[in-house]
Amino acid sequence: MTTVRFKIDLGKPKRVPKPKPPPIVRNPGPSREARALALAHWIERRTDSGDLADYATAARALGLSRSRLTQVMNMLLLPVETQEKLLLDPRSLLPGEVRAAVRARC
């Protein structure tokens, strides 16, 4: 019986790169400031209609601190033109501009 021996160098297995999925294009939606302003208007309507007794009740119902609710409600102190810009075209104002306007009005 004859025995034949030889070595085979298979090398490292080559990695086949996985194809990358196409990037997901997401609509960024309204800005944080626009959402806060909309929330302030909603709370104001609910307190005026009597559904919420006061801002403290609103803060408890929404799980917000009273100080955070005050910050949100201060958005109503912005000039009407700024509020319209913020709600209709939220990306037209920079967040720093909105914060500066709120600070100036308070």
Q: Which residues contact 65 (CB under 8 A, 6 or more apart)?
A: 59
Dig out the tokens for 35 from the structure: 């959402």
pLDDT in tens, 85-102: 888 876 667 667 767 776
Q: Residue 40: which of 58, 53, 56 has the closest Cα? A: 58
pLDDT in tens, 29-61: 778 888 999 999 999 999 999 999 999 999 999
CA distance 82 to 85: 5
pLDDT of 106 strictly over 60: no
pTM of the model: 0.66
Domain residue ranges of the chain, discontinuous segments joined by +: 32-105
Determine contact, residues 35/94, Cβ cutoff 8 Å. no
How far is it between the farthest Cα atoms of the chain?
102
